[in-house]
């Protein structure tokens, strides 16, 4: 299954996973227009079968929550236009699926220091979704 996972933010991480093949990176988008363009390019370039987004969080700040929800909406809209299902996956659920136990974000960063934090979050989302859904 071709998975495109994205950790949402102004600075965002992405991971494309297709079986054992995996590529990941970082991007930056400060507005919805550049965000939509970036997501469209990722979908067009990678041709995923599913889009996995980090679950939207309430950061105790309405503006941050609103921005995250808007970005998720744009990503889901673009996935739908490309006939790709989109889902949200909770970061801690993804970490538990990948590592077999509850593990904190900091511990993951210590285990995989070669990746930047947002990039690592996207990798764990892709691997977690794959583990949760392909082992059923």
Decide if pLDDT at 12 tops 60: yes
Confidence of residue 89 (pLDDT cuts 50, 70, 90): very high
Q: What angle do CA 85, 125, 19 make, to 5 degrees?
A: 75
What's the predicted TM-score (pTM) here? 0.93
Q: What is the pLDDT of residues 41-72, one digit of tens each?
A: 999 999 999 999 998 876 678 888 888 999 99
Q: What is the DSSP code string of the chain?
A: -EEEEEE-SSEEEEEEEETTEEEEEEEE-SSHHHHHHHHHHHHHHH--SEEEEEPP---S-HHHHHHHHHHHHHHHHHHHHTT--EEEE-HHHHHHHHHSS---HHHHHHH-TTS-HHHHHHHHHHHHHHHHHH--
pLDDT of residue 135: 57
What is the percent of the chain where pLDDT is above 70?
A: 97
């Amino acid at each position: 299954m071709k998975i495109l996972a994205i950790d949402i933010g102004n600075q965002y991480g992405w991971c494309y996973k297709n079986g054992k093949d995996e590529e990941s990176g970082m991007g930056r988008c400060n507005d919805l227009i550049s965000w939509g363009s970036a997501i469209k390019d990722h979908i067009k370039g990678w041709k995923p079968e599913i889009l996995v987004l980090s679950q939207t969080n309430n950061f105790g700040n309405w503006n941050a929550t609103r921005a995250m929800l808007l970005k998720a909406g744009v990503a889901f809209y673009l996935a739908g236009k490309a006939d790709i299902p989109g889902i949200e996956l909770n970061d801690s659920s993804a970490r538990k699926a990948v590592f077999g136990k509850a593990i904190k974000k900091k511990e993951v960063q210590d285990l995989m220091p070669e990746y930047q934090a947002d990039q690592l979050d996207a990798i764990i989302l892709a691997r977690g979704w794959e583990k949760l859904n392909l082992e059923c």
